Amino acid sequence: MPRLYDSRKRILVTGGAGFIGSHLIDRLLGQGHEVLCADNLFTGTRRNIDHLHAEPRFEFMRHDVTFPLYVEVDEIYNLACPASPVHYQHDPVQTTKTSVHGAINVLGLAKRLKAKVLQASTSEVYGDPAIHPQVESYWGNVNPIGPRSCYDEGKRCAETLFFDYHRQHGLEIKVMRIFNTYGPRMHPADGRVVSNFIVQALRGEDITIYGDGSQTRSFCFVDDLVEGMLRLMATGPDVTGPVNIGNPGEFTMLELAEHVIRLTGSASKIVHRPLPQDDPRQRQPDVSLAKSLLDWEPTINLESGLKRTINYFRDIVTV
């Protein structure tokens, strides 16, 4: 059996102080690796990684990926980019730069180091999909000039760069398309539907649904997502992706709101607001490829995941 230091890697996680990144780092440290977390703290928070600062195998570097990184690592997970409409529309030019310049800088580093690199892409590359559920071979239905384009097209361009570096330079890449993910450490003001509903319910405020509430999403608990990410990174060089990682269970916004009200015991009322421009009407992953390539499928259902997420928000939300 190999000794620990024979299999220990030094791993860079960009965006590591974010919601998903911090959970990924916990898992990597639990596997015995050294982890370098790079984050400019635009949407990530120190609170997500405060529990790690006494860990000798953890290092934090405040850094913006739109600038090159000069570090020595064995593997790279590129998670750096605002992922909620509230944050990525705040500075859309910077959002595009983060996806595109960030990908260039991370890929350049990986090329120099001959390191395996994983791109955290998104289901938003499918836009407002014309096929349902979404499979990896679908090219998408994206508005290139709308208010969400900075994120959607930025991530699509990042995927292009990853595959061009793979074809042109022989770089070992992994591209993972993340569907709606939720869980502890979500930012309470990130504008995502799960955190919005929970915070509003805990405060006894009206729960805001955009449109008539019939639009659907599929919600994946963060632990399941991280497991899929680790399994994809562990595959051989012949597996590049893209691979959908998400929970295929589909719920309307109205159903989600009713679940949250029931689980929080809130007296909140549901109110409706106009649907934002280019908001997808439906979103559901086909995870057949993840099942066949990674032997992965989600194990945590919405009720269980919501309970754990609500407990987290009870501790941080002021009523």
pLDDT tens per residue, range 207-225: 999 888 898 899 999 999 9
* Predicted pLDDT at 84: 60
Catalytic option among 151, 165, 210, 312:
151
CB 229 within 8 A of CB 245: yes
Q: How confident is the model at residue 4 (pLDDT cuts 50, 70, 90)?
A: very low
* Distance from C-alpha of 165 to C-alpha of 68, rounded to nearest angstrom: 16
Q: What is the average pLDDT score of the chain?
A: 93
Tell me the whole-structure pTM to 2 decimals.
0.93
CB 123 within 8 A of CB 179: yes
CB 317 within 8 A of CB 188: yes
pLDDT tens per residue, range 71-83: 999 999 999 987 7
What CATH fold (topology level) applies to the domain 7-182+222-248+284-300?
Answer: Rossmann fold (3.40.50)
Furthest-apart CA pair in the chain: how many Å?
Answer: 60
Q: How confident is the model at residue 60 (pLDDT cuts 50, 70, 90)?
A: very high
pLDDT: is 317 or 196 the higher one?
A: 196
Q: What angle do CA 117, 118, 120 make, to 5 degrees?
A: 150
Query: Nearest CA to 110 among 144, 138, 145, 72?
Result: 72
pLDDT tens per residue, range 27-45: 999 999 999 999 999 889 9
The conformation of residue 22, written as its DSSP 8-state character, comes to: H
String of DSSP letters for 60-118: EEE--TTS------SEEEE--S--SHHHHTTSHHHHHHHHHHHHHHHHHHHHHHT-EEE
**Annotated catalytic residue 77:** no
Give the count of beta carbons closer than 10 Å to the beta carbon of residue 66: 16
Query: Nearest CA to 112 among 163, 71, 167, 164?
Result: 71
Q: Where are the beta strands (DSSP E) in the chain?
A: 10-14, 34-39, 58-62, 75-78, 116-122, 173-178, 181-182, 207-210, 216-218, 220-221, 243-245, 250-252, 270-273
